[in-house]
Every structure is written in C-alpha cells, then in structure tokens.
Amino acid sequence: MLATDGVEQIELTEPARALREAGAEVDIVSPKSGTIQGMNHDERGGMIQVDVELKDARSEEFDALLLPGGVANPDKLRTILEAVKFVGAFVAADKPIAAICHGPWTLINAGGVSGKNMTSCLSLQQDLVNAGAIWSDEPVVVDHQLVTSRKPDDIPIFNAAMIELFAMPGPRRMTA
C-alpha cells in the first residue's frame, strides 16, 4: 500500500487485513518513515506503522499496488514526484492496482486512467473523466489489471475483487 498522513484508516487497515488473511505479505510504503496519521473521515484516527520508506521502495520488488483514499492522502501523494513515478512504474509494468475512494487521484498523475473503466468517490468523477477514464457509479469496477471502488461502505466487495485480481499461487508481496 502506498499511503501518507491523512489516509482514510479503514481503507488501509481493512484491505491490508483481507490481503494478509488471503496469504499475502503486505508492506505499507510511505514518503516518510516511522508512522503516518490515519483518519476516520474528518477525525484523527490511529497512527499507522510504515514498513518501507518510499525512497527505499522499488516497484519491481512488488507484485501489486493498493492505493487507499482519504482526501489528504492521495492529494499529497500526487504532488510528490517520487510517489507518482512509483505508481507509474506499476502502470507501465501492467501490474495489478487497486484504488478506493480518492486513491485514483495519484493514478491520474501517473498516467494510469486513460481509457479505463473506473469508479471512485463522487467528487473525483470529473477529474477521472477529464483524464480519459470511463467513470460509473458502481460499488466496484474491474478493468484488466485495475480494480476501483467508491467508499468505505464498499470495502467488502472491493476486498473480494482485489484479492481475486491479485491472486496467484504461492506467496506474493504487495504494496499497500
């Protein structure tokens, strides 16, 4: 998972839990080391431990990428060139990517949405359309190597679609 301060906590913790229960190794990658501030909508949540600092992360060491939302998290990430390049490397390598809520903002800056069928929180609809995505208001949308979802209420169906997309025999290492 790629995340920073302001991440919607449940959009990080619940998919990470589901992936681990499915047998995946999940690393939280962030532009900062130590911990990041989780949010529960507009209230502070808990502190979340970072596993790998972005400057030390290599996209080729991961099989898939998960981009949780929250407004502040992807808004910060899409302005950090190193984060955009990291996401862009997954796009260029055609690796599986899952994004929920505002998570697709970073994908826009990484050139990963043009021509893709996607969903997101409603406030990103026009941003995605302007970047060339085909947006629909569905709980989950899967298009080739990309799975997107709208909001925390959609997490159970998002997790199922993400795990199906990310699945392959044996252990896998995934960013979250």
Active site residue 101: yes
Show pLDDT as tens, one digit a residue, over the chain (176 residues). 999 999 999 999 999 999 999 999 999 999 999 999 999 999 999 999 999 999 999 999 999 999 999 999 999 999 999 999 999 999 999 999 999 999 999 999 999 999 999 999 999 999 999 999 999 999 999 999 999 999 999 999 999 999 999 985 443 344 44
How many C-beta neighbours within 10 Å does residue 44 have? 11
Burial status of residue 52 (CB atoms within 10 A of its CB: 0-12, 13-18, 19 or more)? middle
Indicate which residue of 41, 101, 121, 144 is catalytic.
101
Q: How far is CA 96 from CA 30, 72, 162, in A?
A: 19, 24, 9
pTM equals 0.94
How many C-beta neighbours within 10 Å does residue 63 have? 17
Active site residue 121: no
User: What's the pLDDT at 167?
Assistant: 87
Which helix (H) or strand (E) is 101 found in, with range? none
Domains of the chain, first to last: 7-175 (3.40.50.880)
What is the DSSP pairing of strand 52-53 with strand 146-149?
Answer: unpaired
Q: How far apart are CA 100 and CA 102, in angstroms?
A: 6
User: What's the pLDDT at 168?
Assistant: 54
User: What's the pLDDT at 172?
Assistant: 39
Indicate which residue of 41, 102, 121, 144 is catalytic.
102
